[in-house]
């Protein structure tokens, strides 16, 4: 890898010509670095959070309306929970809850199943306003988040799907701290749904999907995170024989939706004795946002006043 440590964050959609196989590719450079460096989690946790960011961007970019897509793992392993969400247009954030000693005890490169244990992956779509939330849940008994999400699409949505995610650290000359990168790609066989999605005459749906999948399986992990491998070049390498049509590109940014109002609303639900107990030596109650590390502080009386007001 070269010395280029800054780069764009984007998700781009494409279609393989004639097949009605659609996909998206995501590259996270500055965004992955910002989120993962700020959290300073153990490396094994950072890798899963990086995958969650890339996967959330791939899924969130498919929303046809303004809303929030949340991906959440819950497991009985040392990595108890990972949450990543995408709010349109193009805003990502992520955090993790884990037992540090138990994670470190697993060594430098633990298997995904040892980290998360037994649990579930939930994908929630909140369109906002009065519209109803939608949630799908699949078991987490997979090799990684990509596999779990693939199972979600194949079982819940009946759409043949392939997903690859990759996370890496990049060392640049003269800079001792590693830079995080995350990337991923998804393809889905919409032709299998039939109807207006059916492919052009002369195309065999199964044969097309088989070829698209075999080519997809040749993706090397580094191709999804190396700044020298451009998205267009990777798509061309894979699908130049059939042709690839590239659609819109969405820029991605880190962003958090936390606010003093939201934090105070949560804290003011605690009983009075607990609120008083939370106060530090200076008498203030402090809460830190798990996503962006912003620290909010309140006078206990302030929190208890809203309590009696409601
Ligand atoms: Zn925040």
Tokens standing for 151? 């199972």
* Ligand 1 center from residue 35 Cα (angstroms): 11
Superfamily designation of domain 260-309: HSP33 redox switch-like (3.90.1280.10)
* Ligand 1 center from residue 87 Cα (angstroms): 13
- CA-CA distance, 185 to 192, in Å (whole number)? 19
**Contact assessment for residue 13 and residue 247, using Cβ atoms and an 8 Å cutoff:** yes
Q: What is the pLDDT of residue 4?
A: 52
Q: What is the pLDDT of residue 60?
A: 95
pLDDT digits (tens, 9 = 90+) for 80-105: 999 999 999 999 999 999 999 999 99
User: Which portions of the chain are predicted below pLDDT 50?
Assistant: 1-3, 310
- CA-CA distance, 288 to 50, in Å (whole number)? 21
Q: What is the pLDDT of residue 20?
A: 86
Q: What is the pLDDT of residue 263?
A: 92
* Ligand 1 center from residue 293 Cα (angstroms): 6
* Ligand 1 center from residue 130 Cα (angstroms): 24
Three-state secondary-structure class, residue 101: helix
Q: Which residue pairs from 303-308 have beta carbons closer than 8 angstroms and sit at least 24 positions apart in sequence?
A: 303/264, 303/267, 303/268, 303/270, 303/275, 304/268, 304/272, 304/275, 306/264, 306/265, 306/268, 307/268, 307/269, 307/272
Domains of the chain: which residue ranges? 10-254, 260-309
List b or e across 296-308, with b for residues whose CB sees 16 or more CB atoms inside 10 angstroms.
bebebebbbeeee
Q: What is the pLDDT of residue 256?
A: 95
pLDDT digits (tens, 9 = 90+) for 133-171: 999 999 998 889 999 999 998 887 889 999 999 999 988
Superfamily designation of domain 10-254: Hsp33 domain (3.55.30.10)
* Ligand 1 center from residue 263 Cα (angstroms): 10
Q: What is the pTM of this model?
A: 0.91
């Amino acid at each position: 890898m070269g010395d280029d440590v800054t780069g764009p964050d984007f998700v781009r959609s494409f279609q393989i010509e004639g097949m009605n196989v659609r996909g998206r590719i995501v590259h996270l450079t500055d965004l992955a670095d910002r989120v993962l460096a700020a959290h300073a989690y153990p490396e094994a946790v950072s890798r899963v959070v990086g995958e969650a960011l890339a996967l959330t961007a791939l899924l969130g970019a498919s929303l046809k309306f303004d809303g929030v897509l949340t991906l959440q793992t819950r497991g009985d392993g040392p990595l108890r929970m990972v949450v990543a969400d995408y709010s349109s247009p193009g805003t990502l954030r992520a955090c993790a809850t884990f037992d540090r000693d138990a994670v470190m005890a697993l060594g430098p490169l633990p298997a995904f199943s040892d980290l998360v244990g037994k649990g579930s992956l939930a994908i929630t779509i909140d369109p906002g306003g009065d519209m109803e939330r939608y949630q799908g849940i699949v078991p987490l008994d997979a090799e990684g988040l990509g596999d779990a999400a693939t199972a979600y699409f194949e079982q819940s949505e009946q759409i043949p799907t392939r997903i690859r995610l990759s996370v890496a650290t990049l060392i640049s000359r003269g800079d001792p701290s590693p830079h995080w990168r995350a990337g991923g790609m998804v393809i889905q066989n919409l032709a299998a749904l039939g109807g207006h999605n059916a492919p052009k005459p002369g195309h065999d749906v199964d044969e097309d999907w088989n070829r698209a999948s075999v080519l997809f399986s040749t993706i090397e992990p580094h191709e999804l995170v190396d700044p020298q491998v451009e998205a267009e070049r990777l798509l061309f390498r894979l699908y130049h024989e059939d042709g690839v049509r590239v659609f819109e590109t969405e820029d991605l940014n880190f962003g958090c939706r936390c606010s003093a109002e939201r934090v105070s609303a949560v804290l003011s639900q605690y009983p009075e004795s607990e609120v008083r107990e939370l106060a530090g030596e200076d008498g203030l109650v402090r809460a830190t946002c798990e996503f962006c590390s912003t620290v909010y502080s309140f006078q206990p009386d302030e929190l208890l006043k809203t309590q009696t007001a409601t």
